[in-house]
Amino acid sequence: MQPQPKQPLLKNDILRHLYYQRLLTIPQLRKDINYTIPTLGKVVEELVHRQMLVITGKAASSGGRCAYTYSLNPNYAYCVVVGVERFTMRIAIANLHNELVTPITTVKIGITAPNEMLKILQRSVRAIINDSKINRRQIMGISIAIPGLTDKKSGINYNYFGNVNRPVTEIFSKMFPYPVLVQHDMDAITIAEQTMGAGKGVDNFLYLYLGGTGIGMGMVLNGKLYMGVGGMAGEIGHIPIIDNNKLCHCGKKGCLETEMSEAAIVSKLLENIRGGASTALNDYVASGNYLTLQHILQALHAGDRFTINLFAQLSEHLAKVITIMLHLFNPEMIILGGELTAAEQYLLNPLQQHLNRYALPQLLKSCKIMTSTMGDNASLFGNVAFMVEYVLENNKFFEADSK
């Protein structure tokens, strides 16, 4: 005899499956949730009545009655999503289909003092909520992706918002009348890849961020995000893999980021130009213009031989790091994201050649290496997934009905 469904656990299971799968029929739900079709049908009918689910149509049938397809009502609840970056904050509101329902507000923070940064965040979040005209009861909470070292147990971020002895979740929770979640930006991007990107349906994959501001990694192992004992796993940019004696901003020497970051790449190019190297950017630099990674990428795609060789060198550093990842984790997939992937074949083609040289062929053959298609908003979408899990685990999806 089947046990009676435990409420709201069964409802939460249904909501969770529909969040990740988007569209499902009751027979499809039955494959993953161990209850009878009549039991599931009754609960689904209740959730439709409460406007948490919507009927989207009928599934194709090979015979017999057509089954209705269901999805979450995208506008039942919303999440304020914040992406903190080195010099900006990006803020928007997303629905349950991971769709942004407001324009992204980009706020410059530069080297703003921590207390002032908090005030800017508070003002910006309040403004976007007020301008959205969304019912306050429908806001699940505020989900913030933040770079730097963040201890998940203590909630302390060691790089942003000042006092390292005070949890950032405590700081934010006093600012807003909503639940506030804070997660590492690499974890948010990795969850986005798992939820709606290249990692969907892949149980073991690694996400490697090759950004202008640094290098980071996220890990999904056996279907679950792996964050380490304190939530600080994945600091691959600070592995001392390069024998260059260069001081990293973390205080150590020889980190991968001393070669593969915008500051490092720009510095290396300027150093070579001053040493007499001939590049397509010589005149631009000689005129006193400020050189950025975008200028270098433009020269690269225009066929500048020096920058092509520079990225071929970078690809060897990257190959050594990916080889370590392959040999440690034996993943099904490695997803490359971030600004440096805009180098495209000038980075990826020599990368494959170096991997053939360094990696064990059996491990390399079983792993697909590809670039992300998620774009710049991946961390914002990952924030939604963290918030959905939070409200389900704490049975908060039904609070709007009780207010």
Write the DSSP string, 93-119: EEETTS-B-SPPEEEE-TT--HHHHHH
**By the 8 A CB rule, do 293 and 266 touch?**
yes
pLDDT number for residue 111: 67
pLDDT number for residue 58: 85
Among the residue ranges 70-79, 163-172, 302-311, 339-348, the one predicted with the least confidence is 163-172
Q: What is the torsion angle, in degrees rounded to the nearest 10, for the CA atoms of residue 180, residue 184, residue 188 and residue 189?
A: 150
The SS3 assignment for 301 reads helix
Q: What is the mean pLDDT of the chain?
A: 89
Rounded to whole angstroms, the Cα distance separating 289 from 95 reads: 42
Once rounded to an integer, what is the mean pLDDT over residues 11-24? 92
Rounded to whole angstroms, the Cα distance separating 38 from 35 reads: 8
Assign 50 a pLDDT band (cuts: 50, 70, 90): very high
Q: Which CATH code of 3.30.530.20, 2.40.30.10, 3.30.420.40, 3.30.70.250 fits the domain covering 78-190+378-402? A: 3.30.420.40
- Is the bond preceding 114 in cis, omega lying within 30 degrees of 0? no
Question: Which residues partner with 253 through β-bridges?
Answer: 247
pTM, to two decimals? 0.90
Assign 4 a pLDDT band (cuts: 50, 70, 90): very low
pLDDT number for residue 403: 47
Once rounded to an integer, what is the mean pLDDT over residues 293-321? 94
pLDDT number for residue 165: 64
Assign 263 a pLDDT band (cuts: 50, 70, 90): confident
The phi, psi pair for 274, rounded to 5°, reads -65, -25
CA 154 to chain centre: 21
pLDDT number for residue 399: 58
Report H helices in 275-358: 282-286, 293-301, 305-329, 345-358
pLDDT number for residue 190: 97
Q: How does strand 88-95 pair with strand 105-108?
A: antiparallel
Once rounded to an integer, what is the mean pLDDT over residues 328-355? 95
pLDDT number for residue 398: 62
pLDDT number for residue 347: 94
Helix axes 378-393, 9-21, angle to 10 degrees: 170
85 burial (CB, 10 Å; 0-12 / 13-18 / 19+) is middle
Q: How does strand 68-72 pair with strand 24-25?
A: antiparallel
Once rounded to an integer, what is the mean pLDDT over residues 55-78? 84
Long-range CB contacts for residues 129-137, cutoff 8 Å, separation at least 24: 129/80, 129/93, 131/102, 132/78, 132/93, 132/101, 132/102, 134/78, 134/93, 134/101, 137/399, 137/400, 137/403
Share of the chain above pLDDT 90, in %: 65
Whether 200-373 and 9-72 are alike in CATH topology: the answer is no
Domain boundaries, the chain: 9-72, 78-190+378-402, 200-373
Rounded to whole angstroms, the Cα distance separating 72 from 97 reads: 8
pLDDT number for residue 126: 93
Encode pLDDT of 99-123 as tens digits.
999 999 999 887 667 777 888 888 9
Encode pLDDT of 152-197 as tens digits.
777 777 777 655 567 777 788 888 889 999 889 999 999 999 999 9
pLDDT number for residue 7: 63
Encode pLDDT of 190-242 as tens digits.
999 999 999 999 999 999 999 877 899 999 999 999 998 888 888 898 988 88
Assign 3 a pLDDT band (cuts: 50, 70, 90): very low
Once rounded to an integer, what is the mean pLDDT over residues 385-397? 90
At a CB cut-off of 8 Å and minimum separation 6, what does 305 contact? none
Once rounded to an integer, what is the mean pLDDT over residues 230-259? 87
CATH code for the domain defined by 200-373 = 3.30.420.40
Nearest to 239 by CA among 214, 217, 257: 257
Tokens in use for 8? 């709201």
Q: Which CATH code of 3.30.830.10, 3.30.70.270, 3.30.420.310, 1.10.10.10 fits the domain covering 9-72? A: 1.10.10.10
